Amino acid sequence: MATDRLRINNEIRAQELRVISHDGSNLGVLPLAEALAAAKTAGLDLIEISPSAVPPIAKIMDYGKFEYERSKKEKVAKAKVKVSETKEVQIKVGTGDHDMLLKAKKAAEWLAEGHRVRAELFLKGRYKGMEEKFLKDRLEKFLLRIPYAYKVAEPITRSPKGFAGVIERDLVAQAKREKSKHPVGDSTESKQKNENK
């Protein structure tokens, strides 16, 4: 349900309202008593839909239906606004192949959901003194295992715990990758479809 409840009928405090009829027609600016009478005649509610307008705007309609439609719109809006986070995946110099693949698959899931992924090569003890190129290569090899197309958002650099880089999904490259896995019947026809888009 919608969070901010609007005033209806006798809860409305404004003495004058710009009233919209249940059929969408503008009834103009009416005194509150007249607006309430019009709503009563129609067998509907008077809902103050825009209290901050001057004068406030009210609509004659069924309040239950109004709230239902409003909550439906809010759900659609929330679904469109996908919260993107930066997820973290951590590997070590000694991380085995099996664990690497599992972590790479998890990173691919996060990318598919629209999140950025911060991949970190965690170094402790003697590993901190290892050659920088070797360590960067180790992290790059892990990134290459991720089964989802990505682009580099932040290149691999030294981090407080070792080395880290941030990647984000590349929808264009991923679409091409999926297309090559599942080729469409006639390639010329599919090319033409893409050119017409």
The Cα–Cα gap between 130 and 83 comes to 38
> What is the distance between the alpha carbons of residues 23 and 60, in angstroms, rounded to a whole number?
9
**Predicted local distance difference test score (pLDDT) of residue 94:** 87
> What residues does each domain of the chain span?
9-79, 86-180
Which of 182, 95, 191, 104 is closest to 150 using CA atoms?
104
pLDDT one-digit tens code per residue, 66-92: 888 888 888 877 766 666 788 999 999
What distances in angstroms separate CA 92 from CA 96, 129, 141, one per listed residue?
A: 9, 14, 12
CATH assignment of 9-79, among 3.90.1170.50, 3.40.640.10, 3.40.1190.20, 3.10.20.80: 3.10.20.80
User: What integer pLDDT is reported at residue 172 of this predicted model?
Assistant: 85
Contact 47, 6 (CB under 8 A): yes
Among 29, 39, 31, smallest CA distance to 9 is for 39
CATH topology of domain 86-180: Translation Initiation Factor IF3 (3.30.110)
Which residues in the chain show pLDDT less than 70?
Answer: 1-4, 79-83, 182-197
| Predicted local distance difference test score (pLDDT) of residue 81 | 63
